[in-house]
Structure 1
Amino acid sequence: MTAVLQAGRPAAVRARTTERASGSRLATLILLVPAIVACGLLFVYPLVRIVVVSVTEPSLGLDNYLSLFTDGYTLRVLLRTLLVALGVAVLDLIMAYPFALAMTVCGPRTRAILFTIVLIPFWTSALAKNFGWMILFQRNGLVDRFLSGTFGIDYPLLGTTPAVLIAMTQVLLPFAVLPLYARLDQIDRRLLDAAQGLGATRLRAFRQIYLPLSMPGVVASGVLVFILSLGFYVTPALLGSPQQTLIAQLIMARVEQVLDFAGANAIGIFLLIVTMAMLLLSRQVSERAARRQARPPGGGGPGAAAGLPKGAMP
């Protein structure tokens, strides 16, 4: 019937419709030109330039990339940065998960208060937060007096990796809470009630239903915090020491002191590769979780997707 109506339309009407569609596409392309040009000049060209410099100076080849894994000092800095970023991600997830879970079960007024607590760090200057940690961690500071007076530990934190780890964890905690809350708020809590109605304990229902369904949010939060931790400069520079340099400080030192632009570019590209790998991992985990939740009812439904046995729960 549709084909008959289309054939019966006058040729002039069809021509005007085609011309209108072509004009709309042309207008869309014209509007996209400034964004494409800006993206090319501000993002694509600098990235291509960084890659070219990293493989052409001082000679053509991959020597700058090979030195990342053959130079002992650079390799230690890379490993230290990855370990610190991993530690920050784990600590933030440990603290963010119960906080985000509480935000999903509390009332609207309490949720607003918890949201305000999460957003307060965004309203505070990063320098102010880092200087506050410096005052707490300095010799004879509050933390030093507490450790020495209570536990007899004489270990000044300022200028150490644990100080950097604690400060970065505090700064990046909101970036773990918000994605987690967005995911946990989408989980139907009636699944837990159904599991308990079938005989499961609260712990087992949480472990086999709620936790697997929340894993995409856990992975997204962990990856986001990990990626942000890789490029931290101010916090390690103020609270760390030259002996505990992280990768952002190494890049700055190579640019300002050694003038090794090619080596600094190679480190930057390495960070980009790690970032893209983490993003791909996060996407694969999310897609796998989505496929598991989309299984047909004959495969066991949401309970089977979360790892529950078919039929009644023991």
Structure 2
Amino acid sequence: MSSLVREPATPSVASRLFAVTGTSGRYPPVLSALLLLPLLLLLFFSFLYPVGRMLVGSLFDPDFTLDNYVRMFVEPLYLKVLLRTLWIAFATTLCAFLLGYPVAYAMARAGGRLTLCIAACVLIPLWTSVLVRSYAWIILLQRNGILNNILTETGILEQPLRLIYTEGAVMIAMTHVLMPFMILPIYGALRTIPKELPQAAANLGAGVFAIFFKVTLPLSLPGVFAGTLMTFILALGFYVTPAMVGGPQTMMMATLIGQQTTVLFNWPFAGALATVLLVVTLVLTFIFRRVLATFGGFANV
């Protein structure tokens, strides 16, 4: 009895383009592109297209010109605002690191309900509106605010201090608002450090400070890098808190850009300011990444 032998069916073009190949579940290029298409469209219309329009608008007013960029560096006011923005962002990042690292360390090393309590103290302010938190600092720091009333009623001061509308007030308020962005990445890095490593260092005779600076801190540098970078970039472009707590005397770049667009309607110059701020941010990010990769001992950060 003869048996019929069927030739294997030739896969269609569609099956070859969209079939998952291999045992590792790899997707073909066409299907991968389709899966990434929504994200790419979102990135294009929400970031690349506005940034491109901003750059073109700052260079063509209506003809090609560099007057907007020259104006920023020729007039001392705008250069002073840029330097103040960099200084406040750096100081805020440093304060957030110095205050946030112990909190992240306590979260990583504590157990049970204490960890949940610390996490709640970190996350609940993060869920609160930035406007509300900034207004709370105005209530605390204003001339007739809570802090000045305590200092004058207890006899420590005779006259209220000028706490609001200063660079110090802006740094304090921004540190409070941005501290969760420093704490959470450091906490994630500290959680990945095996507890046996500090114990082994202690068994070998290392002290508390030696264990921290030679074991814990180097191994947590990826989290420190992520938190520092995130905090610094957010501080450079912060708008609400400096505008409310700082006022016109401590104006930062974001406030200046908002003033140029909403008050003066000078969109080309605002685009130039935003472009310069973006370039400075990218350059500082690259430099910080290279420095950390060189001195941190890991080149793939």
Contact kept, 8 Å, 1:68 with 1:75, in 2: the verdict is: yes
Tell me by how many angstroms 1:188 deviates. 2.0
* Structure 1 residue 59: Cα displacement: 4.4
* Residue number among 276, 279, 285 corresponding to 2:282 in the alignment: 276
Pick from 254, 263, 271 the counterpart of residue 265 of structure 1.
271
Structure-2 separation of matches of 1:11 and 1:265:
65
- 1:109 Cα shift? 1.8
Return 5+ residue gaps in structure 1 as ranges. Answer: 1-9, 294-314
TM-score, length-scaled by structure 1: 0.80
Partner of 1:46: 50
Establish whether residue 22 from structure 1 lines up as the match of residue 17 from structure 2.
Answer: yes
| Matched residue count | 283
Contact 1:134 1:158 in 2 (8 A): yes
Cα distance in 1, alignment partners of residues 33 and 14 from structure 2: 15
Q: Which residue of 2 aligns with 1:170?
A: 176
**Which residues of structure 2 form unaligned runs of 5+?**
1-5, 20-27
Q: Which amino acid is the alignment partner of residue 22 of structure 1?
A: L
Q: Deviations over 1:158-189 (max 9, x none)?
A: 12121111111111111111011011111123
> For 1:258, what is the secondary structure of its paired residue?
coil
C-alpha spacing 1:220/1:34, structure 2 compared with 1 (3 Å): closer
In the alignment, the residues of structure 2 paired with residue 281 and residue 16 of structure 1 have an alpha-carbon distance, to the nearest angstrom, of 51
Contact 1:216–1:282 (Cα < 8 Å) also in 2:
no
SS of 2:161's partner is coil
Instruction: Give percent identity, aligned residues only.
Output: 37
Aligned partner (choices 222, 227, 237) of residue 221 of structure 1: 227
Once structures 1 and 2 are overlaid, which stretch shifts more, 195-204 or 242-251? 195-204
Task: Flag the 1:239–1:215 CA change in 2: closer, same or farther, 3 A.
Answer: same
Contact 2:144–2:160 (CA under 8 A) maintained in structure 1: no
Determine the C-alpha separation between the residues in 2 that align with 1:54 and 1:140.
44
Partner Cα separation in structure 2 for residue 215 and residue 50 of structure 1? 35
RMSD: 2.6
Task: Tell me, in whole angstroms, the C-alpha distance in 2 between the residues paired with 1:64 and 1:195.
Answer: 58
Change (3 A) 1:292 1:266: closer
Q: Residues 55-93 of structure 1, C-alpha deviation per residue, up to 9 Å, x if partnerless?
A: 122542433223332220001101111111111111110
Letter of the structure 1 residue corresponding to residue 18 of structure 2: G
| Superposition deviation, residue 108 in structure 1 | 2.4
Residue equivalent to 1:76: 80
State the distance in 2 between where 1:31 and 1:194 align: 47
Cα distance 1:209–1:29, how it changes in 2: closer, same or farther (>3 A)?
A: closer
Quick check: 1:123 aligned with 2:127? Answer: yes
Query: Where does 1:150-161 land on structure 2 (aligned, <5 Å)?
Result: 150=156, 154-161=160-167
The Cα of 1:11 is off from its aligned counterpart by: 7.7
The AA in structure 1 aligned to 2:145 is: G
How far is 1:45 from its partner?
1.8
Q: What is the distance in 1 between the residues matched to 2:198 and 2:18?
A: 54
Quote how far apart the aligned CAs of 1:30 are.
4.1
Q: Residues 116 and 264 (structure 1 numbering): CA distance in 2 closer, same or farther, change over 3 Å?
A: same
Give the superposition deviation at 1:126.
2.0
| C-alpha deviation, 1:145, in angstroms | 3.0
What is the CA–CA distance in structure 2 between the aligned matches of 1:39 and 1:206, rounded to whole Å?
A: 41
Work out whether residues 80 and 246 of structure 1, in 8 Å CA contact, stay in contact via their aligned partners in 2: yes
Matches of 1:218 and 1:34 in 2, distance apart?
Answer: 32
Q: Secondary structure of 2:263's partner?
A: helix
Q: Distance in 1 between matches of 2:123 and 2:135?
A: 20
- Range that drifts further, 59-68 or 256-265: 59-68
Counterpart of 1:90 in 2: which secondary structure?
helix
Q: Quick one: which amino acid aligns to residue 23 of structure 1?
A: F
Question: Residues 238-280 of structure 1: CA distance to partner in whole angstroms, max 9, x if unpaired?
Answer: 1112122111111111112332211111111122223323443
Residue 213 of structure 2 corresponds to residue 207 of structure 1: yes
| Counterpart in the other structure of 1:244 | 250
